[in-house]
Amino acid sequence: MSYSLPIHLLRQHLFCPRVPWFQELLDFRPPQTQWVRQGMEFHQRQKEIFRHRTLKRFGLHAARRHFHYRVRSKHWRLHGVVDCVLETKHEVFAVEIKLAGRSPSRGSILQVAAYGMLLPETIGKPCRKAFVVLQRRGKTWPVTIDAKRINEVERVRDQIFANLHAARFPDSPATEAQCCQCEYLNYCNDRA
Ligand code: SF4
């Protein structure tokens, strides 16, 4: 079976192309720092709150909610776990919950779009729209899944495949500010 990429690496790659290299090629994940652990616990609590929230923010009256929904596709060569899937009678919507940020990053948009691309194969209903929920700001950001977006997801996925295949440590455009918040800082020789 051909290699399948974890979808969250689309976002990680756009943050820094070295992260997929560390995780997929070297199978290396540094021990979690305390702030990462706290962030994950907070994220989990936010998801619990989200369970009881109304669907109005998605423009829906009724929908089944599936949390931590697994998706995998041989066709797209991608797999992952969706924070929440909203299922109505005729269609489905992928939802990704983010804690911080004023607006979703390009990486978060492509991540949730990729989840949406895989959902029809798993659930058997079309997915034309996804959402990024920015919890701290109480905002819901719709993401259209159209041909242009799908192309973009494929382009980034293929860049990652190419980097992994090239067997050369990727150059990184990451700024000092990005490196300072990166868990791989101690493992990148060319960064302070
Ligand atoms: S420390 Fe900087 S260059 Fe190294 S992986 Fe992190 S973001 Fe990329």
pLDDT in tens, 111-168: 999 999 999 999 999 999 999 998 777 789 999 999 999 999 999 999 999 999 997 8
Q: How far is the CA of 171 from the centre of ligand 1 (A)?
A: 10
Please tell me what DSSP assigns to residue 192: -
Task: List C-alpha distances in Å: 109 to 101, 141, 156.
Answer: 13, 9, 12
Which of 18-32, 74-88, 161-175 tops mean pLDDT? 74-88
Query: Does 18 sit in the ligand 1 pocket, CB within 6 Å?
Result: yes
Q: How far is the CA of 184 from the centre of ligand 1 (A)?
A: 6
pLDDT value of residue 130: 98
Output the average pLDDT for the chain: 89
Rounded Cα distance between 5 and 114, Å, is 11
What does the pLDDT average to over 69-76?
Answer: 96
Query: Does 183 sit in the ligand 1 pocket, CB within 6 Å?
Result: no
pLDDT value of residue 190: 84
Largest CA distance in the chain: 53
Share of the chain above pLDDT 90, in %: 66
Q: Categorize the per-residue pLDDT at 75 as very low, low, confident or very high, splitting at 50, 70 and 90.
A: very high
pLDDT value of residue 101: 76
Is the pLDDT at 47 greater than 80? The verdict is no
Please tell me what DSSP assigns to residue 163: H
Q: Categorize the per-residue pLDDT at 2 as very low, low, confident or very high, splitting at 50, 70 and 90.
A: confident
Share of the chain above pLDDT 70, in %: 87
Query: Does 164 sit in the ligand 1 pocket, CB within 6 Å?
Result: no
Q: How far is the CA of 186 from the centre of ligand 1 (A)?
A: 9
Rounded Cα distance between 86 and 15, Å, is 28
Q: Select from 3.90.320.10, 3.10.310.30, 3.90.1150.10, 3.30.70.100 the CATH code of 5-187.
A: 3.90.320.10
